[in-house]
Amino acid sequence: MKEYKNSWFLPDMTNIDKAIVHAIEENSEEGNYHKNKGLWLKYATFVYLSGARRMEPFLMPPYIYLLRQEPKIYVIRKVNEKHFNKAGKRIIEDTPWLVHSDYEMQLFYFLLEGRKEISLNFDQLLGRRLDKDISTQELRLLGSKITHKFEKNFIMEITNGEQTLKTGIPIHLLRHLRAYELVVNKGYPPALVQKLIGWNTMDMVFYYAQIQKAMRQKEVLAMYEKLPNFRF
């Protein structure tokens, strides 16, 4: 099974929603201010909650609205960078997201500013408006610039298992963390996570090394539980 190359993760992966909320709070402090800081924090929150690829929020202004009050479900509308229709145009997807925890609700509240719906515009971070069908090559070049800027505006404590750093994180790590939270911590089936994150195949769920490791551990523990006279 192929593994995603990013070997960095959080020192504590047991409640990633909580970790992201705390990161937003810490990065909001006055001593850590940069231009457009508030918008960068909303960009980070959106990328995490939606599991978006780094440039998807720039392909059209993402739109979020409350679909159901109980249980609380929000719909996130955004462009899928890698899904195309028969005419070769990128597809706009409306994805319902179930809110599982108070921390997850705090993140949605931060984006929505207390409203039931909102359109988010991140053009200011990029300095231009993009056509949603911009070429993949140009998108990749712009993505490198966004990654560089983002790392100056979003600091977290991360580790690779050997060393721990408090540093600017790569944007894609947020997508990785969201996938981990859904699969491992919330127990979502891979087929559902595929739909939520916007992958082509269910196998993509297990491309991340940390998810593979955690799921293998869960499988072994489940086998122990089936042993006669076994108790945790």
Tokens standing for 87? 């005419």
* Burial status of residue 205 (CB atoms within 10 A of its CB: 0-12, 13-18, 19 or more): buried
Q: Give the mean pLDDT of 187-194.
A: 93
81-96 pLDDT, tens digit per residue, is: 999 999 999 999 999 9
42-76 pLDDT, tens digit per residue, is: 999 999 999 999 999 999 999 999 999 999 999 99
**Three-class DSSP category at 90:** strand
Type of residue found at 1: M
**Share above pLDDT 70 across residues of the chain, in percent, rounded to a whole number:** 94
Q: Give the mean pLDDT of 100-121.
A: 96
pLDDT of residue 219: 79
pLDDT mean across residues, the chain: 90
**pLDDT band for position 211 (cuts 50, 70, 90):** confident
* Burial status of residue 225 (CB atoms within 10 A of its CB: 0-12, 13-18, 19 or more): exposed
Angle of helix 37-50 versus helix 172-180 axis, rounded to 10: 40
Tell whether the model's pLDDT for residue 1 goes beyond 60: no
pLDDT of residue 30: 55
Domains of the chain: 16-225 (1.10.443)
Radius of gyration of the chain (CA): 18
Tell whether the model's pLDDT for residue 34 goes beyond 70: no
Tell whether the model's pLDDT for residue 179 goes beyond 80: yes
Q: Give the mean pLDDT of 107-133.
A: 95
Handedness of CA 48, 53, 54, 60 (dihedral sign): negative
Greater confidence (150 vs 232) lies with: 150
**Three-class DSSP category at 164:** strand
Tell whether the model's pLDDT for residue 5 goes beyond 70: no
Task: Tell me how far CA of residue 223 lies from CA of 117, 130, 220, in angstroms.
Answer: 45, 50, 5
Tokens standing for 219? 């499988």
pLDDT of residue 31: 54
**Three-class DSSP category at 97:** strand
The alpha carbon of residue 68 and the mean position of all alpha carbons in its chain are separated, in whole angstroms, by: 22
